[in-house]
Amino acid sequence: MLEAIDLVKRYGQVRALNGFSLRVAAGEIVGLVGHNGAGKTTFVEIVSNLTRPDSGTVTIGGKSGTATRGLVGIAPQHISLYPSITVAEHLRLYGKLAGLRGKSLRSAIDDLAVMLRLTEIMDRSAAVLSGGQQRRTQAATALIHRPPVLLLDEPTAGADLETRQATLDVVKQRAGEGAAVVYTTHYLPELTELHATIAVARHGRVIARGSSEELMDGLPGEVRLTFEENEEISVSTTQPTATLIDLLSRADRPVAAVDVRHPSLDDLYRSLAVNDVS
């Protein structure tokens, strides 16, 4: 569905993208992760036709350039709402710009209002919404026209639990209907809940791609036992559960607390950074 091949984008001396390639199939959710400056947002901007790559191509369902207009729903990283405009007016505007009219527009707005828990705040202007409500409204503007490609750039950044869950639910639903979703985030558990495959960006290109199990396989987590005298032992291990059982069976004193830390995205970045020669 979405295919980006060998994208290069320079801003002066800085190479924001340096051979960035990513394919996302219909119905697939790809968690695009990477540190700030890895090229995630530039990639999103290119796919949204906000900026042109210096080289490389993007196609959506075989179409490229301005022919992809209307095929992408985007929720940018930063909040981009009109302060004096209500939630309902935002949805009507973006729906109409996508060509929705009358009954289909009303039904799209009603559906999203329920799914993203916006029903109670439809008549409130964006300026008086909480951060989470603004996030949900912004996500709704991306989803209103049911596009085949969704670009959600950290849609839950700083959001409350209600917003996070509502967003994840609707993303899963849309992917279930066949949308290709690119979801950038710094929260690995969200990608696990979305059953997303992961693409790791670094220095403007994708350096690893696979399921979270594949990518995390072999990365060490940590097991920590705290004894009643406040003494601690901490073991770095690739098999936290087995290590925990082993440590508990060998403990000769009462254990006060157990802490098992599974590998995180930071561990993955660190591991990939070691292997990434660029």
Partner 1 sequence: MFLDTAYRSGALDSLNRVGALARHNITIRRRDPGQMISYVVMPMVLMLVLKPLYVRAVDAGATQVATGLMVMFSVFAISMAGNAILAERTWKTWDRLRATSAPAAELLIGKTTPIFVVMVIQQSILLTYGCLVIGLPVPREPWFVLLSIMIWAFTLLSIGAVLATIVRSHGELSVISDVGALTLSSLGGALVPLSIMPTWAQYAAHLSPGYWALSMMQAAIRGDEVHMLLPAAVLLTIGAVAGTIAVRRLTRGWGRSRLL
Q: Which stretch binds partner 1 (CB under 8 A): 15-23, 139-147, 182-190, 214-222?
A: 139-147
Rg of the chain's alpha carbons, rounded to an integer?
Answer: 22
Helix or strand run (H / E) with residue 242: helix 240-250
Helix or strand run (H / E) with residue 152: strand 149-153
Number of residues that bind partner 1 (CB under 8 A): 41
Q: Measuring CA to CA, which residue among 137, 120, 130, 125 is closest to residue 158?
A: 130
The answer to whether 110 contacts partner 1 (rule: CB under 8 A) is no
The answer to whether 80 contacts partner 1 (rule: CB under 8 A) is yes
56 backbone φψ class: left, alpha, beta (φ>0; ψ -120 to 50): left
**Touching partner 1, residues 204-263 (CB under 8 A):** none
Helix or strand run (H / E) with residue 200: strand 197-202
Q: Which stretch binds partner 1 (CB under 8 A): 72-80, 223-231, 237-245, 263-271?
A: 72-80
**Touching partner 1, residues 141-160 (CB under 8 A):** 141, 145-148
Reported for 107-110, long-range contacts at CB under 8 A and 24+ positions apart, including other chains, are 108/144, 108/145, 108/146, 109/144
Question: Token pair of 238, please?
Answer: 């690739």
Which of 71, 235, 247, 273 contacts partner 1 by CB under 8 A? Answer: 71
In 94-112, which positions are buried (b, 16+ CB within 10 angstroms) versus exposed (e)? bbeebebeeeebeebbeeb
Question: Token pair of 82, please?
Answer: 């009109």
The answer to whether 62 contacts partner 1 (rule: CB under 8 A) is no
The answer to whether 99 contacts partner 1 (rule: CB under 8 A) is yes
Q: From CA 145, how far away is CA 59, in angstroms rounded?
A: 19
The answer to whether 65 contacts partner 1 (rule: CB under 8 A) is no
Distance of closest approach, residue 52 Cβ to partner 1, in angstroms: 9
Question: Token pair of 231, please?
Answer: 């003494």
Distance of closest approach, residue 233 Cβ to partner 1, in angstroms: 49
Report strand pairing: 180-184 vs 29-33. parallel
Please say which residue, 8 or 93, places its beta carbon nearer to partner 1: 93
Q: Which stretch binds partner 1 (CB under 8 A): 175-183, 205-213, 216-224, 241-249?
A: 175-183
Please say which residue, 89 or 222, places its beta carbon nearer to partner 1: 89
Per-residue contact flags (x/-) with partner 1 for residues 3 to 42, judged by CB under 8 A: ----------------------------------------
The answer to whether 49 contacts partner 1 (rule: CB under 8 A) is yes
Please say which residue, 69 or 270, places its beta carbon nearer to partner 1: 69
Distance of closest approach, residue 119 Cβ to partner 1, in angstroms: 21
Q: From CA 1, how far away is CA 59, in angstroms rounded?
A: 8
Report strand pairing: 55-60 vs 2-11. antiparallel
- Contact residues: partner 1, CB under 8 A: 45, 48-51, 66-67, 69-72, 74, 76, 78-85, 89, 92-94, 96-101, 104, 108, 141, 145-148, 177-179
